[in-house]
Structure formats: C-alpha cells, structure tokens
C-alpha cells in the first residue's frame, strides 16, 4: 500500500502505529527531562549530577507511588468514560480512619482503610450507574462529603502513626537479597509468558515471532528489571511503596488488557450503545470500576499516611487532579475507550519527575504549579495536533 | 444569462468509495430542480459540497453563483452567498424555542445584547408567512418530528436564501404537513428562488419539479425537463441495471419455525399512552428470510429492538425460540437464546470506531473465548477467518474500525453477530450508506447464511432489496401489521400500498 493507513505513521522503512509512536515519544521526552535535571544538578559534591543518584531516584519513586496507585484506578474509570474527583478527599478519609483504628491492631487498622475506600467508591459507583447521576456531580459531591466526614470524626486533629509496620509501608526498603529474588522471579515469569504466548499463536496458525524477536522481547525488559533492582540496592533496597505500585500496575495492566472485564470497559467507554446492544451490562461494570478505584484509594492512603508518619484531616488535597493529569499525560482520552495502565504510570512518573527535579533546583512553589499546569496542557495539545495530521 | 447556480465537474472521494465522479449540476432562478437517485448515488454528498459541509479543497471541481466562481471555506460562507441547505438529519436544538432556533447564530442584537422582542416578533412573522400555526415560544423538543422539520425549513427560508436545498424534506412529514410545504415552495418559486429538491418520492418530484437530474453511483445520468420524462423512465435511469444483476436468484426450502413473536406491543418511552408497536406477531423458519417493510417511523426498528430486550419503552408480548417460550429482558439474554441483531446505523449502534476489528468482532461473543480471561490468539484466529469468509478488506484484524469503508465496517458488524453462532439473525438496514459492490456482497452473504439454515429477519427501507431477498414479507404501518405477502404475491405496488396505509 502506498499511503499509510490512518492511525499509523511512517518512520523511514518502519510503519508504526500511532499509539506505539506516542509511547516512544513520551519515553524519549522523559529521558530528555531526566538528562536536563541531571545536568542542572551538577555540583562540587555531585560532579555527575544529583538527580539520577540512587538515593534521589528512590525518593522520586516513593513520591510517585501514591499518585501511581491512584492513576491505575483512575485510568479504568476514565476508560469507561467516567471521572472521579473525590479521590483526594476519600484518601484523606481512608488514611484518617486507618490511623484512628490503630488501637484495634495492625490488621484491622489497615483493613479499615481499604474497606472505607471500597465503600466510598461503591456508593459513588452505584449512584452513577443506577441513579443515573453524572459521575462529575456524584464525585464532586464526594469531594466535599468525604472531606467533611474526616474533619468531623477526627475533630480536625492530626493523628500520628504508631504502628511500626504501618509506618514502614510508606518508607521501608526491601532487603537487597529479597529484591534480587523478586527480580529473578519476574524474569522467569516474563520468559514463561512469552514462550507460552508463542506456542498459542502457533496453535492458532497465526504468525509467530522468530527466535531473535522472542529473545529481544524477554531480554529488553529483563535488563530494565536488573538495572532497576541494582540501582535501588545501591541505596539499601527497593522501597516497599514502589513494590506496591509495581504490583498494582501489573495487576491493573492484566485486568484492563487480558480480561473480559477490562475489554468491556474499553467497549463501554468507546461506544456505550454498541456495548449495551452487544449484551454488556454497563451498569455493573461501572459500579465495579468505581469500587476498584475506591479500594486503590484505600491502599494509596496507607502508603501516603505511612510515608508522612501521620494522618492529617486535609491529607490528599488535589491528589485527584494529579491522578487525572497522570492518565491524560499518559495518552488516556477523557472521551473514554482509549488509554493504558503503562501510559498512566509513565504519566505519573513525568509528574513526579517534575516535582522532584524542580524541588532539587529549588524552584519556587508558585513556579512549580505554573510549569506543571503548562506541561499538562501542552502534552494534550501536542497529542491533539499529532492526531489531526493522521 | 448565467444560471443562478452552476456546479461543474464535481468529484469527491471517501476512504474506499468514490462518492462523486465528474458531476455537473445547474439551477436557474425561479426553478425547482429535482435530484433523484438510489441511496448512495451521491445526492446528499453533492448538496453537502454546495452547503460547504465539505469546504473548498476537499472536493474537485468548481461552484459558480451568478456565474462567479466561489470558494466556500465554511458553512457560513455558503449561507452568505444565499445558499440554504436543509439536511436530512435534523439540526434543531431541542431545548431552545422555535424562534431561538430560527435565528440561531444570527440573533438580532445591539451591542451584543439579544433583542428578544424583535426576535420573537420576526419569528412570528416568518411562521405566519409560511402558514405554520406554531407559537414561537414553544421549545422545539415539544413538537412532533414533522413539525420540527418544518421549523428547520422555516429556519432556512428566514435567511432569504436564493438557493434552497431540501434533502428528503417530506420523509418525516404527514400528508397535510407536506401539502403546507408544497405551497411554500410554490410561492418561493414565484418569488424567483432556485430550489433543489431531493426525494425518493417520484410523485412529489413529478408534481413539483421543472427539471429532473438523475444521479447513479456518483455520476450524472441525465438532466431533462419534466415534461419529457415519465416515472418508468426515471426509475430505469436510477436503477440502470437489471435487478437480477445485483440480486442473486435463489430457491430456498425453509424448515421448522425457529423464532416466533406473538402480540408484541411497545410503548413510547417519551409519550405516555402512545404505542410504537401494536400487537405484532410473526414467525420465521430455519433457512428463511422474512422481510419487514414499511416507511420510516412505522415501528420496524422498535419491533426488533424490543424483542432484543434493548428498547427503553415498556414491551409486552411472548417470544418462542425452537417452540419453547423464552423471557428476554436484556440483550445478553437475547444473545444467550441465539438471537443476533445487526443494528441500524453502524457508527452509532454497531461499532467501536476507535478499537480494532478483532475487538469489534468478538465483542458480543467474548465469553466464548474464556469466561474471565479471553484467549486473545483464539480471537485473532477467529477474526482472521471472518475477514476471509466475509471478504473484509483491511490490512489486519488489528486495524482500527474507523479506518474502513462503510461496506467493510458493515461486514465487521455482521461478523460480530455471526461469531455469536445465532439461530436467528435480525438485520436492520444492513446496506444503508454502502456502495453497490458491498451491497451485492451483503446480499450474497444473506443467501449463504439462509442456505446454511439461519433464520433471518430483514428490515430495509429499500423496497427492491426486501422484495428480492425475502421469502415472505410483512408490512408495518403505524406500528401495526398492514400486510403479509409471499415471494410470489409481494409486488412493489402492493407492499407500498400497505406501507402507506392505503391498502384496499
């Protein structure tokens, strides 16, 4: 074919789908920002720059963990053509309730956060799906209501985290040996999945990637895993919140791309009428999606409260916007039906990079807000401009 | 003297379809020029070019108004040149009043402040001139669909357009509303306006038009004065081919009854007390094609949607699959009972345009590939097979649905339902808006499926299609069955008489 299909772009002799091209552009943009910050943080103490130092990278990833967990849940909600503005307030409520119930012991305290988040999400999901109230309104109400509830039950006081394990959720490091064990496990799983996938394709008479391509598909991510664990072990080990984020990301990615549930979410977001006429119960799916986000908010509240060391009633303010921004920078369409967990994670990484890098450079708070706002709008602007051409 | 309007050598392509090929068309002042042709012949596309829905640069050829070449970059340019197009699709804002709609975008104002008194009094004048007995303060959403169309026409006329284009204006009008419209057109002609009149209804065309242009497959066939034409001649030019060419002749031997509906009644969810479908019963056998004929608004789609458990209105009636009574409350239950439904308007109801072909094709049968974890390679293989069987032209099953031509998109929707292994397949307007070649392929496919034992219920607005493909035909009018025919008794005249409610 002489002209490229709409939705694909030609790069020399390679034909790349728009989504793939977009993902690469984002990774390249991220690397450029990293190099810039590295270059700008060169000092006598750090002749090669401070930004990419293992200690700072670990810090950056810890900051990112909360936004990342929220973004995975938010992605599912947005893919289904919904929105959740209550995430920050619900995080404050769940974290506060967990801190207040520490007297019941560790298990019940942590469970409280998850249950509160799940319940909050389920209530909002039910109102959206079954009472037909737009998600924007329901969760705007939630934004106010959940904040009011935590202010009421905590009487406006900040509650310190006393349980050591709770505290460690936000800050502790995984022992280096355990990190290496996890890396090996991940690489073995990766290899097994890739090989099984090839076998399945052969069984269905579909084109199977050759040995070189197969090896590349295993080795490239394996190298990333090894480098990641090595760098983190340089500063004492992989932070626990980062492990939690990775687990959530893998689970979220699996749920959205490999399960019928996830596929139906894309269908509902892409064309609700067609989905309904194809026998999909959109209401149930919307309820479940909001509930999943709620549970992830509960989990994120534990990471956040643990990291800060106390639960203040105004914790989590504006976090819903960070989560939405991460999704949008990661290529998620607010019109529904388009977006990936990997993109949302990359988006969260971009946001955390800007936060961390600008703090290192002692950029004023006011300027930080302005730059983050501009980056969000510019990212979507470039995306739209690129799409109009194809 | 230059004609009022002259369109020369107009060409326009869409992905996969050449919609217009070197079409020329002119219009004189004080003339009603009818534009006729089959669905997909290019009439609406030509008028969308005139109205600058497709602006200059998106098509080939030139447009002259009063002999002066014009390049319209947007709809407003065309309007400023005195061109008003009333499209088939309504573009009224239902929440606004009649007067607000008439003046939408050019409200009388001073210093940016709308002068409501002037707006409403001028609207009242326009309605009076058109002999429309409507109150300008009424929200358009309160009006019947025919009256909404009349408001749309009033909106076009209020611009003092010299060139007025009406695309199927009477499709949604009652007879008396249509008479009102004809009177209006007559007076406009006397005032020297040029009117392009697009219609399938040849009675209207022969009553109103001074000249008639026939389009076929995107080309001009002829332009003649009405006096030199007769209806049969126009039909022959519209069709331009022996009907047997496109409809393969088949002989079928239907088996047992697979699906039966008894006493289906559907209430209008918006208007209480109104029935969209009233006591309709039918049965369809293995290997049989049952045609459902009727005009737009006769309740054909409502009937199928209601049986499928997808109608918002309250539905009553009994359904039997293979002789056993079944309860269908949702599309999922309908699918589970072996019913497939290729819905009308594939972009709105059928496709996930921004998803891949395979995602579209397995959407209704995804659980067959694994209840929780679908086998994606199995899906891709099934998608590949469907692409070959239905001859879907696309690079791979991972192409996005929006990149395909209309005919191929329609085949993707068909594939989606075939992959559910249905016993009964409802087809609602399966060939609307696709080119003749794709239509032929869909017809051939319908015959293949019937021969394989599928029971098919076919709804189509194209009467020749229904007559040629169906073993039996039921005709709906006003939500009721007004006629039943077999292949031998179903003639176009008899079916149409029932469809218009004028059966003897």
pLDDT at res. A2: 36
Neighbours of B304 (CB within 10 A): 25
Kindly report the backbone phi and psi dihedral angles of residue B164, in degrees, each rounded to the nearest multiple of 5, phi listed first.
-115, 125
The CA distance from B379 to B176, in Å, is 54
Q: Which of B307, B312, B332, B363 has the highest number of chain A CBs within 10 A, making it the mutation to test binding with A? A: B363
**ipTM beyond cut 0.85:** no
pLDDT higher than threshold 60 for residue A5: no
pLDDT at res. A382: 78
Sorting pLDDT into bands at 50, 70 and 90, what band is A269?
very high
pLDDT higher than threshold 80 for residue B297: no
pLDDT higher than threshold 80 for residue A1: no
CB contact under 8 A, B332 and A281: yes
Residues A301 and A113: beta-carbon distance below 8 Å:
yes
Residues B123 and B132: beta-carbon distance below 8 Å:
no
The CA distance from B101 to B202, in Å, is 31
The CA distance from A186 to A192, in Å, is 10
pLDDT higher than threshold 60 for residue A252: yes
Tell me the pLDDT tens digit for each residue of A62-118: 989 999 999 999 999 999 999 999 999 999 999 999 999 999 999 999 999 999 999
Sorting pLDDT into bands at 50, 70 and 90, what band is B424?
very high
CB contact under 8 A, B351 and A274: yes
In the predicted model, what is the mean pLDDT of residues B118-146?
Answer: 86
Tell me the pLDDT tens digit for each residue of A180-216: 999 999 999 999 999 988 888 888 888 888 888 899 9
In B206-268 the beta strands, taken as DSSP E runs, fall at 211-216, 219-225, 257-267
Sorting pLDDT into bands at 50, 70 and 90, what band is A26?
confident
Q: Which of B269, B340, B366, B410 has the highest number of chain A CBs within 10 A, making it the mutation to test binding with A? A: B366
pLDDT higher than threshold 80 for residue B250: no
Partners of A5 on chain B (C-beta within 8 Å) are 395, 399, 403
Q: Return the residue matching tokens 């006429």.
A: A277
pLDDT at res. A389: 43
Residues B102 and B151: beta-carbon distance below 8 Å:
yes
The CA distance from A201 to A195, in Å, is 10
Q: Which of A15, A17, A81, A274 has the highest number of chain B CBs within 10 A, making it the mutation to test binding with B? A: A274
pLDDT at res. A6: 44
Element housing B10 (H / E) = strand B5-14
pLDDT higher than threshold 50 for residue A262: yes
pLDDT at res. A3: 36
Tell me the pLDDT tens digit for each residue of B94-110: 889 999 999 988 888 88
B458-477 as b/e: b if 16+ CB within 10 A? bbbbbbebbbbbbbbbbbbb
Partners of B376 on chain A (C-beta within 8 Å) are 258
Q: How far apart are the first and last CA of chain A?
A: 16
More confident residue, B251 or B222: B222
Residues A33 and A353: beta-carbon distance below 8 Å:
yes
* Percentage of residues of chain B with pLDDT beyond 90: 45
Helix (H, G, I), strand (E, B) or coil at B229: coil
Name the DSSP class of B363: G
CB contact under 8 A, A200 and B331: no
The CA distance from B160 to B423, in Å, is 56
Residues 6 or more apart whose Cβ sits within 8 Å of residue A276: A282, B310, B331
Residues 6 or more apart whose Cβ sits within 8 Å of residue A196: none
A3: nearest CA partner in chain B: B15
Write down the number of H helices and E strands in chain A.
15, 4
Tell me the pLDDT tens digit for each residue of B450-488: 999 999 999 987 788 898 899 999 999 889 999 999 988
pLDDT at res. B231: 76
The CA distance from A202 to A317, in Å, is 51
Residues in A lying within 8 Å of B, measured between beta carbons: 1, 5-7, 197, 200-201, 203-206, 258-261, 263-264, 266-267, 270-271, 273-281, 337-338
B215-244 as b/e: b if 16+ CB within 10 A? bbbbbbbeeeebeebeeeebeebbebeeee
Give DSSP secondary structure letters for A83-119: ----HHHHHHHHHHHHHHTGGG-HHHHHHHHHHHHHH
The CA distance from A231 to A238, in Å, is 9
Residues in B lying within 8 Å of A, measured between beta carbons: 15, 308, 310, 330-332, 334-335, 341, 343, 348-355, 359, 363-364, 366-367, 370-378, 380-381, 384, 395, 399-400, 402-403, 416
pLDDT at res. A390: 40
Residues 6 or more apart whose Cβ sits within 8 Å of residue A13: none
Sorting pLDDT into bands at 50, 70 and 90, what band is B285?
very high
The CA distance from A109 to A77, in Å, is 27
CB contact under 8 A, A279 and B380: no
pLDDT higher than threshold 60 for residue A377: yes
* Percentage of residues of chain B with pLDDT beyond 70: 95
In B242-310 the beta strands, taken as DSSP E runs, fall at 257-267, 275-285, 289-293
Residues 6 or more apart whose Cβ sits within 8 Å of residue B148: B90, B92, B94, B140, B172
In the predicted model, what is the mean pLDDT of residues B184-188?
Answer: 88
CB contact under 8 A, A279 and B331: yes
Sorting pLDDT into bands at 50, 70 and 90, what band is A309?
very high
pLDDT higher than threshold 80 for residue A47: yes
| The token pair that represents B326 in the structure block | 């079944």
Residue B374 has its nearest CB partner, among A5, A263, A278, at: A263
Residue B381 has its nearest CB partner, among A205, A278, A337, at: A205
B337: nearest CA partner in chain A: A279
CB contact under 8 A, B354 and A270: yes
pLDDT higher than threshold 60 for residue B495: yes
């Amino acid at each position: 074919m002489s002209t490229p299909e709409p939705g694909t772009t030609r790069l020399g002799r390679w034909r790349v789908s728009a989504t793939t091209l977009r993902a690469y552009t984002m990774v390249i943009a991220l690397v450029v920002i990293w190099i810039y910050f590295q270059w700008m943080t060169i000092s006598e103490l750090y002749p090669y720059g401070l930004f990419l130092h293992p200690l700072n990278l670990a810090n950056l990833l810890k900051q990112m963990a909360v936004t990342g967990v929220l973004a995975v849940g938010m992605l599912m909600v947005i893919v289904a053509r919904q929105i959740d503005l209550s995430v920050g307030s619900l995080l404050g409520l769940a974290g506060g309730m967990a801190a207040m119930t520490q007297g019941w012991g560790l298990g019940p305290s942590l469970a409280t956060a998850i249950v509160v988040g799940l319940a909050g999400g389920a209530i909002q999901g039910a109102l959206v799906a079954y009472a037909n109230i737009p998600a924007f309104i329901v969760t705007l109400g939630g934004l106010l209501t959940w904040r009011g509830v935590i202010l009421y039950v905590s009487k406006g006081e900040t509650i310190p985290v006393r349980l050591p394990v709770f505290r460690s959720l936000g800050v502790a490091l995984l022992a280096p040996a355990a990190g290496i064990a996890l890396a090996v496990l991940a690489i073995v799983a990766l290899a097994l999945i890739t090989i099984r996938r090839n076998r399945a394709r052969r069984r269905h008479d579909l084109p199977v990637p050759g040995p070189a391509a197969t090896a590349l598909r295993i080795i490239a991510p394996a190298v990333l895993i090894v480098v990641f664990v090595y760098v983190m072990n340089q500063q004492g080990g992989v932070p626990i919140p980062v492990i939690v984020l990775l687990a959530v990301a893998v689970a979220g990615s699996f749920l959205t791309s490999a399960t019928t549930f996830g596929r139906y979410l894309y269908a509902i977001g892409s064309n609700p009428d067609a989905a309904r006429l194809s026998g999909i119960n959109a209401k149930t799916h919307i309820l479940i999606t909001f509930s999943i986000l709620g549970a992830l908010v509960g989990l994120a509240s534990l990471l956040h409260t643990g990291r800060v060391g106390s639960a203040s009633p105004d914790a989590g303010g504006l976090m819903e916007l960070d989560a939405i921004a991460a999704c949008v920078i990661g290529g998620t369409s607010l019109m529904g039906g388009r977006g990936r967990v990997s993109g949302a994670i990359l988006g969260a990484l971009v946001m955390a990079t800007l936060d961390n890098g600008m703090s290192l450079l002692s950029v004023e708070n006011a300027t930080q807000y302005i730059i983050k706002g501009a980056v969000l709008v510019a990212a979507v602007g470039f995306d739209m401009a690129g799409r109009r051409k194809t | 003297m230059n004609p009022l309007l002259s369109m020369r050598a107009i060409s326009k392509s869409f992905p996969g379809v050449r919609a217009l090929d070197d079409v020329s068309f002119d219009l004189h002042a004080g003339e009603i020029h009818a534009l006729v042709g089959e669905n997909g012949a290019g009439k609406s596309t030509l008028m969308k070019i005139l109205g600058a829905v497709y602006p200059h640069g998106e098509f080939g050829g030139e447009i002259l108004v009063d002999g002066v070449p014009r390049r319209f970059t947007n709809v407003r340019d065309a309007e400023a040149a005195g061109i008003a197009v009333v499209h088939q699709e309504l573009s009224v804002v239902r929440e606004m009043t009649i007067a607000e709609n008439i003046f939408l975008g050019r409200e009388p104002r001073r210093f940016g402040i709308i002068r409501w008194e002037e707006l409403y009094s001028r609207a009242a004048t326009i309605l009076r001139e058109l002999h429309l007995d409507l109150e300008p303060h009424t929200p358009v959403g309160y009006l019947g669909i025919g009256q909404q169309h009349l408001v749309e026409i009033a909106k076009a006329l209020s611009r003092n357009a010299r060139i007025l284009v009406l695309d199927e204006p009477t499709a949604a009008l009652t007879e008396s509303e249509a008479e009102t419209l004809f009177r209006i057109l007559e007076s406009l002609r006397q005032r020297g306006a040029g009117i392009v009149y697009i219609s399938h209804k040849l009675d209207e065309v022969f009553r109103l038009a001074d000249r008639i242009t026939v389009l076929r497959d995107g080309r001009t066939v002829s332009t003649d004065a009405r006096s030199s034409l007769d209806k049969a001649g126009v039909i022959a030019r519209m069709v331009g081919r022996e009907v047997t060419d496109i409809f393969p002749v088949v002989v079928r031997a239907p088996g047992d009854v697979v699906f039966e509906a008894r006493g289906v009644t559907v209430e209008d969810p918006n208007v209480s007390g109104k029935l969209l479908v009233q006591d309709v019963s039918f049965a369809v056998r293995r290997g049989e094609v049952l045609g459902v004929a009727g005009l737009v608004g006769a309740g054909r789609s409502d009937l199928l949607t209601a049986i499928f458990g997808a109608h918002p209105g309250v539905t009553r009636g009994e359904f039997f699959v293979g002789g056993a009574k079944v309860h269908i409350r949702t599309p999922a239950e309908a699918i589970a009972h072996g019913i497939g439904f290729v819905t009308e308007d594939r972009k709105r109801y059928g496709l996930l345009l921004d998803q891949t072909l395979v995602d579209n094709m397995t959407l209704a049968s995804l659980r067959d590939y694994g209840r929780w974890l679908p086998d994606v390679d199995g899906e891709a293989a099934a998608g590949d097979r469907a692409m070959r069987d239905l001859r879907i032209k696309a690079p791979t099953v991972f192409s996005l649905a929006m990149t395909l031509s209309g005919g191929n998109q329609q085949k993707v929707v068909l594939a989606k339902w075939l992959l559910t292994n249905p016993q009964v397949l409802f087809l609602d307007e399966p060939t609307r808006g696709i080119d003749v070649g794709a239509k032929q392929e869909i017809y051939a496919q319908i015959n293949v499926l019937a021969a394989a034992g599928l029971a098919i219920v076919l709804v189509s607005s194209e009467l020749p299609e229904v007559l040629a493909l169906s073993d039996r035909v039921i005709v709906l009018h006003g939500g009721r069955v007004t006629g039943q025919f077999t292949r031998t008794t179903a003639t176009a005249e008899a079916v149409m008489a029932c469809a218009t409610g004028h059966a003897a």
